[in-house]
Amino acid sequence: MDSRTVALIRTTFKAVAAEEGGSEKLASSFYATLFTDYPRVRDFFPAAMDSQRDRLVKAISYTLDRLEEPNKLLPFLAQLGRDHRKYGVEPEHYVAVATSLKTAMRRFADTEMWTDEVDRAWDDGLAIISETMIGAADREETPAIWSGTVVECRSVLRNLVVVRLRLDQPMSYAAGQYLSVQVPSRPRMWRYLSPAVPANADGDIEFHIRGVLGGWVSPAIVGQTRIGEQWLLGSPLGGLGVPRNTKRKMLMVGCGTGIAPLRAQIMSMAQRRINPKVHLFVGGHYPCDLYDLEMLSQLAVANTWLTVTPVVENDENPWWHVDSREPAREVPGMEPRRTGQIGKIVAGFGPWTDHDVQIVGSPSMVQTTKFRLMAAGTETKNIRHDPLF
Ligand SMILES: Cc1cc2nc3c(=O)[nH]c(=O)nc-3n(C[C@H](O)[C@H](O)[C@H](O)COP(=O)(O)OP(=O)(O)OC[C@H]3O[C@@H](n4cnc5c(N)ncnc54)[C@H](O)[C@@H]3O)c2cc1C
Ligand code: HEM
């Protein structure tokens, strides 16, 4: 796509989204058009389409923001297309989505702004997005959906469970990737989770799930998961991972369940002969949030290339934490625990110019840590994280 086409799409999109409540209005107009003009498409979507459920529109705006970086965007779209097979999406649905989005855009854009050239630019942009997703889905030979049986559900904190499943057939995801999951108590509500172990021939997989206050799916997983129930899993997504034979040192920063994809990568690296040096910072609000220290300690003791520094915001456990023992400050194989805001602490060790960086955690933690690292001299191109939607 030429740079003028990209510029036209981005300018019109930003002009609409920048208005007060612009993206919400765009999302609701898009869905209203889509469901009115193509009623059969409604069945793909969850019953409750509240304001938080504009994931599709957020994803499209994330995509439009990256039109100028085709070498990053096209693999991302290909993964999405393979994953969208889980919805049973067919090429004609892409036409429905593209047409509805353009109609919604035209409705909110200034009439003067929406010229024939802009209209054609949108057609071109949406066609590239759709063709990339459809093409990748067509070429894919792996299953559209994997199913797995829950074999263990362990509560490790009052709002955090570790769930292990045995898949009906093994999935070859790369350590560090994430995938979307649907649990039986929340039909059609797919959510992304990151496997906490590398792929294996037995099809064993593990997820760490924190119940988000007011969330639809995560509290149901924490409170209602039963041994023997069947979960559905979509295709693997994401580009975190440590390439074999890389000489670049790695900085990994993970908070809460963000440790899952990092630990999967470290476990996978532990099976290799040669590894670059890795410094992992694992963070939580309280010492009790560092629920996986035992495993990380074993990995740090066994692998000399790995340094682990735990970080907490508060030195004491909260009153509601049932274990009244003093939290251990020193853990075998690990650096002493630090107290403070994780981004600030990590940046303080910096500037990390000779490291590739991965940040995993809540969107605000990822943004703040990235900002701190950039302010301390780390180049943006060396920082990776998953999309924040
Ligand atoms: C790439 C990726 C990988 C992920 N991996 C994991 C994982 O391994 N384990 C895990 O537990 N979760 C993970 N998540 C988050 C997960 O996908 C869900 O977003 C989360 O569980 C909330 O879903 P929900 O249905 O309970 O909440 P929703 O009903 O979707 O949202 C309810 C409210 O909670 C807010 N909210 C959503 N997520 C968060 C959050 N993380 N922190 C604070 N507020 C939030 C929403 O903005 C909304 O206001 C991952 C997300 C992404 C994008
Ligand atoms: C135009 C290109 C499209 C892009 C970039 C895109 C991207 C995304 C992304 C990233 C998500 C959120 C994560 C997920 O659950 O997979 C999503 C959700 C979804 N997409 Fe797509 N998608 C596109 C087209 C379509 C089409 C054609 C359909 C079929 C009608 C579709 C149906 C859905 C559904 C049902 C959801 C879940 C919505 C929710 O949970 O609120 N998408 N899309």
> Which residue's alpha carbon is nearest to atom 47 within ligand 1?
52
Residues 229 and 336 in one domain: no
For residue 47, the model assigns a pLDDT of: 82
Peptide bond between residue 363 and the one before it cis (omega within 30 degrees of 0) = no
Specify if 212 maps to a domain.
yes
The answer to whether the predicted template modeling score (pTM) of the entire model surpasses 0.75 is yes
Check residue 326 and give its pLDDT: 67
Helices (H) and strands (E) in the chain, counts: 11, 12
**pLDDT of the residue at 176:** 98
244 in a structural domain: no
What pLDDT, on a 0 to 100 scale, did the predictor assign at position 75? 94
- The CB of 60 under 6 Å from ligand 2? The reply is yes
pLDDT of 51 reads 52
Strands (E), the chain: 146-157, 160-167, 179-182, 191-193, 204-210, 230-233, 249-255, 278-284, 306-312, 338-339, 355-360, 383-384
Q: What is the CATH number of the domain that holds 12?
A: 1.10.490.10
**Best residue for ligand 2 mutational test, from 56, 92, 128, 218 (most atoms within 8 Å of Cβ):** 56
> What pLDDT sits at residue 327?
67
Ligand nearest to the CA of 191: 1
pLDDT computed for residue 94 by the predictor: 96
Q: What is the number of structural domains in the chain?
A: 3
Say which DSSP state 85 is in.
Answer: G
Q: Which-ligand-closest: CA of 47?
A: 2
The pLDDT of residue 320 is 81
Which pLDDT does position 159 carry in this prediction?
94
Residue 281 within a domain: yes
Hey, which of 51, 84, 194 would you mutate to test ligand 2's pocket, going by the most ligand atoms within 8 Å of its Cβ? 84
CB-ligand 2 contact for 80 (6 Å cutoff)? yes
Task: Pick from 183, 188, 191 the residue to mutate for probing ligand 1's pocket: most ligand atoms within 8 Å of its CB.
Answer: 191
> What CATH number does the domain containing 320 carry?
3.40.50.80
Residue ranges in the chain whose pLDDT is less than 50: none
Helix axes 70-84, 116-139, angle to 10 degrees: 60
Query: Which ligand neighbours the alpha carbon of 387 most closely?
Result: 1
52 lines ligand 1 (CB under 6 A): yes
User: Torsion angle of alpha carbons 236, 72, 91, 230, nearest 10°?
Assistant: 10
The pLDDT tens digits of the residues spanning 337-367 come to: 999 999 999 999 988 999 999 999 999 999 9
Last residue in a domain, options 108, 139, 170:
139
In this predicted model, what pLDDT tens digit does every residue of 69-87 receive, in sequence order? 888 899 999 999 999 999 9
pLDDT at residue 324, rounded to an integer: 65
Asked, for residue 240, whether it belongs to a domain, the answer is no
Q: What residue numbers bound the domain in which 164 lies? A: 146-233
Give the residue from 93, 115, 139 where a domain finishes. 139
Out of 86, 107, 139, pick the residue that ends a domain: 139
Beta carbons within 10 angstroms of residue 81's beta carbon? 24
